[in-house]
Amino acid sequence: MNAVLSVSDLSLRFSTPDGEVEAVSNVNLDIKKGECLGVVGESGSGKTQLFISLMGLLADNGRISGSAKFQGKELIGMPLRELNKIRGDKISMIFQDPMTSLTPHMRVGKQMAEVLIHHRGMSASDARKRALDILDLVRIPEAEKRLSMFPHEFSGGMRQRVMIAMGLLCEPELLIADEPTTALDVTVQAQILDLISDLKNETGTAIALVTHDLGVVAGLCDRVVVMYAGQFVETGDLRSIFYEPQHPYTRGLLQSMPRLDQIKDENLIAIPGQPPNLQNLPDGCKFQERCPYVHDMCLDQDPTLQPVEEGHMKACHLGGFDEHGEVVA
Ligand SMILES: Nc1ncnc2c1ncn2[C@@H]1O[C@H](COP(=O)(O)OP(=O)(O)OP(=O)(O)O)[C@@H](O)[C@H]1O
Ligand code: SF4
Ligand SMILES: [Mg+2]
């Protein structure tokens, strides 16, 4: 099946007063129709910038190279007018902070209707009906009344739902959801994730789900990429990442994740140290300062992604891990 989004050799650099930093290094990914790809990694690993940049929303000091094709069309370097037509219609992006995507001084109903009138050519009354339906879909009570409210009049959780509703309005082919539920309490989070899952199953929308929460990934994603310091360090289907992780960083993330079957958190082991400073990355493997398995080769040779088995890749000099978690020579 053809990929809805196909990214190859994408890199992203920022110029800063202290020199240039590479926030995303040479990444490749495909997302197919009806598929959900989870992008995980600690804060600063480049998850958000990866998607921001291919949507043409990069900061002025950023520079992108490589290719990102949406339904076969190159997004990198696409004229803004053309990109604007795709953005918000065929590709939707929802963020952790709803205030970044909602216009503060415009009533919610009007904002939603304008999207539909602009992108879909709907009449004002059809657009209003559709806005109501979609607010119902994201389980906003008293939707009719809420249409005439301003974003700041909603609670945080409600505002998040409104933003998700905005993202779903045009039934996008690709939904990029960046930490869509992080600010919400657990119950609302579960409802929103159900909603995204229904959307995927019912409409075949391809989803890129950016999160630091592996629990969210487990519930929704088919495939996972693990990012560290702007690089993909492991990629695979959900099962291989959760049950046969081959990169020490992925293993660290899994060990630091609370699980429902553990009553106490005593088995949780946090990854030692801090995410690396992009200004000051080591030669060799970027994870070396935090890796319990670091050895000579890691200090000066940066590992590249290599196949472990069909559809599963890792960037690490170790032979891998067996089912007991022992290192394979
Ligand atoms: N305009 C900019 N100039 C310089 N560096 C930037 C700029 N924008 C982002 N960065 C850097 O790029 C890196 C990647 O940031 P990004 O926001 O993609 O991380 P993230 O993985 O989404 O983190 P989080 O989980 O905290 O959202 C960070 O180190 C960040 O400081
Ligand atoms: S390459 Fe070396 S330092 Fe990097 S993750 Fe593998 S063992 Fe650890
Ligand atoms: Mg982010």
142-152: pLDDT as tens digits: 999 999 999 99
Mean of the per-residue pLDDT values for the chain?
90
Q: Which residues 6+ apart lie within 8 Å of 207 measured at CB?
A: 31, 35, 36, 37, 174, 175, 176, 177, 196, 199, 200, 220
- How many CA atoms, within 13 angstroms, populate the side-chain half-sphere of residue 261? 0
Span 129-151, average pLDDT: 90
Q: What is the pLDDT of residue 193?
A: 85
Is the CB of 267 within 6 Å of ligand 1?
A: no
3-state helix, strand, coil split of the chain in percent (to 5) is 35, 25, 40
Question: Distance between alpha carbon 14 and the CA centroid of its chain, in Å?
Answer: 20
Pick the residue whose CA is nearest to atom 24 on ligand 1. Answer: 43
312 compared with 88, residue with greater pLDDT? 312
Most confident of 30-44, 80-94, 98-112, 259-273: 30-44
| Both structure tokens of 230 | 């702007």
**With bands split at pLDDT 50, 70 and 90, how would you rate the model's confidence at 98?**
low
Distances (CA, A) of 160 to 101, 163, 192, 221, 256: 10, 5, 9, 21, 27
**With bands split at pLDDT 50, 70 and 90, how would you rate the model's confidence at 312?**
very high
Q: 300, 284 in Cβ contact below 8 A?
A: yes
In a 10 Å sphere around its CB, with 0-12 CB exposed, 13-18 middle and 19+ buried, how is residue 252 labelled?
A: buried
H-type alpha helices, 204-276:
214-220, 238-243, 248-255
**With bands split at pLDDT 50, 70 and 90, how would you rate the model's confidence at 266?**
low
Concatenated DSSP letters for 188-214? Answer: HHHHHHHHHHHHHHHH--EEEEEES-H
pTM of this prediction exceeds 0.85: yes
Is the CB of 298 within 6 Å of ligand 2?
A: yes
- CA dist 129 and 123 (Å) reads 10
Is the CB of 92 within 6 Å of ligand 1?
A: no
- Report how far ligand 2's centroid is from the alpha carbon of 298 (Å): 6
Residue 260 has pLDDT above 60, yes or no: no
Q: Which residues 6+ apart lie within 8 Å of 42 measured at CB?
A: 212, 228, 253, 271, 275
228 compared with 84, residue with greater pLDDT? 228
Is the CB of 43 within 6 Å of ligand 1?
A: yes
Span 155-160, average pLDDT: 83
Q: 134, 145 in Cβ contact below 8 A?
A: no
Q: 67, 3 in Cβ contact below 8 A?
A: no
Q: Which of 246, 288, 300 to mutate to test the pocket of ligand 2 (most atoms within 8 A of CB)?
A: 288
Residue 1 has pLDDT above 60, yes or no: no
- CA dist 240 and 139 (Å) reads 34
The closest-lying atom of ligand 2 relative to the alpha carbon of residue 247 is: 5
Is the CB of 23 within 6 Å of ligand 1?
A: yes
